[in-house]
Amino acid sequence: MLRYIHISNGVKKGGVFYIFVYIYRLSQSGYCCKIGHLYYGRFGYTYDVSLVAPSIYTLHRMCDIALGYASEYSLTH
């Protein structure tokens, strides 16, 4: 039996703007890993993002940015 699920939150396909705003905020925050002057704070593909941090403190700050971003764009569950 086929069942349908109503989804009211999340990033729709084609909503690339949302992920760019999030990535920009992370890169501008100063919280990240850097090699030389190159930013390596996150890796991602489409809407999946992995955070990379040199310490637990930095990871917590990056997660705070993610939670604030999700709340601002109503991307919470």
pLDDT tens-digit profile of 4-57?
A: 666 566 555 555 666 778 888 888 888 877 778 777 766 666 667 788 888 899
Residue 62 scores a pLDDT above 60 = yes
- Give pLDDT, residue 8: 65
- Mean pLDDT for the stretch of residues 51-70: 88
Q: What is the dihedral of CA 70, 23, 44, 19, to 10 degrees?
A: 50
C-alpha 21: how far from its chain's center? Answer: 9
Contact 48, 11 (CB under 8 A): no
Enter the tokens of residue 69: 């971003």
Q: How many residues does the chain have?
A: 77
- 51 and 3 Cβ atoms separated by less than 8 Å: no
Q: Looking at residue 37, what is its pLDDT?
A: 77
